[in-house]
């Protein structure tokens, strides 16, 4: 069948519309247009039509994946799921993920480290961070390396204090208010051998001993 018309889609910049005699329409990208040497009047057989449809779907999935990952970081599992939800077949979704990994745009190890840093900075403990890594589809084999980069106890506590005090004077009333949160942060961010000592030290603090606690961490 012959190609009667070729034009760019008005709705999707990356899409090229190829109109065939008989009313059939192919949705492809510029990549297929150049690779297959398509032009008006060219006669293509049924096999080529199928190849164009499959290649066009793969190319569109790649474009969609690149747009998604540039919008916000995602794990490979999250990205593949979103692509399938948008209508891509599993093979095309996985191929797009492979391509993004090859060019360095998709990296689960870097994503895991980013999540650990983000939630550690919010005062999350290790258990909660693990929950987030699981929820976001980060492979378990990457968890430990990412967690080893987590904020240490002093940094986590300092962030909690900064968030809760917001420039207020650190008096007895304020210390009493934030002590439970500090104790929880210490417990969640310290190694097991140090947790008991540091958690107990955080209880019943006075304004004077509060600074001493921070100097011990």
Do 177 and 209 lie in a common domain?
yes
Q: How confident is the model at residue 170 (pLDDT cuts 50, 70, 90)?
A: low
Contact in structure between 160 and 123 (CB atoms under 8 Å): yes
Q: Which pLDDT belongs to residue 188?
A: 62
Do 126 and 187 lie in a common domain?
no
Q: pTM surpassing 0.75? A: no
Do 134 and 196 lie in a common domain?
no
What mean pLDDT do residues 33-54 have? 93
Q: How confident is the model at residue 68 (pLDDT cuts 50, 70, 90)?
A: very high
Do 79 and 136 lie in a common domain?
no
Q: How confident is the model at residue 72 (pLDDT cuts 50, 70, 90)?
A: very high
Nearest CA-CA partner of 19 in 9, 11, 7, 10: 7
Q: Which pLDDT belongs to residue 80?
A: 97
The Cα–Cα gap between 138 and 136 comes to: 6
Domain with 169, as residue range(s), is 153-216
Q: Which pLDDT belongs to residue 62?
A: 92
Q: Which pLDDT belongs to residue 198?
A: 40
Do 92 and 8 lie in a common domain?
yes
Do 9 and 95 lie in a common domain?
yes
Query: What phi, psi does 25 have (nearest 5°)?
Result: -130, 130
Residue 70: exposure state from Cβ atoms within 10 A (0-12, 13-18, ≥19):
exposed
Structural domain count of the chain: 3
Do 31 and 12 lie in a common domain?
yes
Do 96 and 164 lie in a common domain?
no
Do 7 and 82 lie in a common domain?
yes
Counted residue by residue, the chain has a size of: 217
Token duo for residue 98 = 């492979």
Contact in structure between 98 and 124 (CB atoms under 8 Å): no
Do 16 and 82 lie in a common domain?
yes
Question: What letters, b where the CB count within 10 A reaches 16 and e where it falls short, cover 169-208?
Answer: eeeeebbeebbebbbebbbbbbeeeeeeebeebbeebeee
């Amino acid at each position: 069948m012959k190609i009667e018309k070729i034009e760019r889609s008005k709705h999707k910049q990356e899409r090229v519309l190829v109109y065939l005699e008989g009313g059939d329409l192919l949705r492809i990208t510029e990549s297929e247009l150049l690779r297959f040497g398509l032009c008006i009047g060219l006669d293509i057989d049924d096999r080529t039509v199928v190849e164009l449809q499959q290649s066009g779907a793969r190319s569109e999935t790649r474009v969609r994946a690149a747009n998604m990952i540039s919008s916000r970081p995602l794990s490979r599992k999250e990205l593949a799921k979103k692509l399938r939800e948008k209508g891509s077949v599993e093979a095309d979704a996985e191929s797009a993920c492979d391509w993004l990994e090859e060019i360095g745009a998709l990296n689960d190890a870097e994503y895991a480290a980013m999540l650990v840093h983000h939630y550690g900075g919010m005062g999350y403990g290790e258990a909660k961070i693990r929950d987030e890594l699981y929820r976001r589809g980060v492979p378990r084999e990457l968890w430990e390396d990412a967690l080893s980069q987590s904020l240490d106890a002093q940094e986590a506590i300092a962030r909690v204090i900064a968030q809760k005090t917001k420039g207020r004077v650190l008096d007895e009333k304020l210390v009493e208010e934030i002590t439970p949160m500090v104790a929880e942060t210490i417990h969640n961010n310290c190694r097991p051998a140090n947790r008991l000592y540091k958690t107990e030290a955080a209880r019943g603090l006075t304004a004077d001993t509060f600074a001493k606690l921070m100097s011990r961490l």
